[in-house]
A and B are shown apart, each in its own frame.
Chain A
Amino acid sequence: MEVEAVVEHTASHGAHSPLTQFEVHPLIPLHFGNLDVSFTNASLWMVIAIFVSTFVLFMGVRGRKLVPGRWQSFSEIMVQFINNTLRDVAGDSAMKYFPIIFSLFMFVLISNLLGMVPYSFTTTSHIVVTFALAICIFVVCTIIAIAKHGLGRFLHSFLPEGTPLWMAPLMYFIELFSYLARPVSLSVRLSANMMAGHTMLKVIAGFVVMLGLAGGWAPLSLLVVLTGFEIGIAVLQAYIFTVLTCVYLNNALHLH
């Protein structure tokens, strides 16, 4: 009975919906003609993500000791990690794109982890943000491929080797569409994972409040486990996003 009352209460007021955390509202309204470019809470948290990643790396390179301290160790591990990933996936010729890949990884990683801070806003749970990143990667990779191999060779690469002639038109368009689907799946993967995880956390947290002191301990313990799990997912998804970017870069550099 009590539980029902609580459910009704939250339903009627809508204050504790698990989806309110994803609402975007303008902090500083800005309009250019018909274009709404307001500074929103999403923008604020992206700026914070940039500042945090810059701060962490700045603290890392400030000392430059032979025996690294905590900040320096963290920065060195991150750089080494992305360095190895990029070299393994895309080869030595891709090393000149290291700065952009590293910036991308740090931005996504810090954004994901900032989302785990209570009362914060997870920018990467919005498909707009991740799609903007993914479409930039897609366009840049396409430009690299065309610049390096020429337009003819790039267009020819969509045809898998050994395709029978009567299958060629069909296969060509299937491959073309699978190439076009890359930025979509790249962005949806990250935002869907972040959004699903955060919604789940809020729903379980809602159970804690509903069950109260008597039965709330069970979902609370689950919540602790899930929070740890979610931090793991935040790091893993940032890594997957980076690795897939490296894979696309590799495909662009070494057309088959």
Chain B
Amino acid sequence: MPLDENLPSLDDLQKKIDEANALKGLKKEGEPEEEQPQNMGAALQVGIELVSGVAVGAFVGYFIDHWLGTMPLFFILCFFLGAAAGWRNLVRQARKGTGS
């Protein structure tokens, strides 16, 4: 009967669904490889944020010391403040990254 012939098509359909799921799963496994450059960019980002914070702190501290003649005081103070600011930017960036 034609109806009996139609019945196995349900199995075919299941097979197709499984195949599609497997394909989806494959794609999911493939994703981390594609994300590699983005991770590299994020790593570079971390370095830039930290270094720019320290650099700005050190520069401002050196400038103030040069101006007031209190050589190591503000340089050291601003160096650490700048490092803290770098961390602050980094944390802000990381929070934004996980949010999106």
Contacts and interface: CB of A to CB of B under 8 A. Distances in A.
Interface of A: 173-178, 180-181, 184-185, 188-189, 192-193, 196, 229
A177 B78 CA distance: 9
A196 B37 CA distance: 14
- Classify the secondary structure of A's interface with B: helix
B85 A192 contact: no
B48 A188 contact: yes
Interface of B: 37, 41, 44-45, 48-49, 51-53, 55-57, 60, 78, 81-82, 84-86, 88-89, 92
A176 B48 CA distance: 18
B85 A178 contact: yes
Contacts of B56: 177, 180-181, 184
Contact of B55 (A176, A184, A229): A184
Contacts of B84: 174, 177
Given A173-B81, A174-B84, A188-B51, A181 B45 contact: no
Nearest to A177: B85
9 contacts: A175-B88, A177-B60, A178-B86, A181-B53, A181-B55, A181-B82, A181-B89, A193-B41, A229-B37
Given A177-B78, A180-B60, A193-B44, A188 B85 contact: no
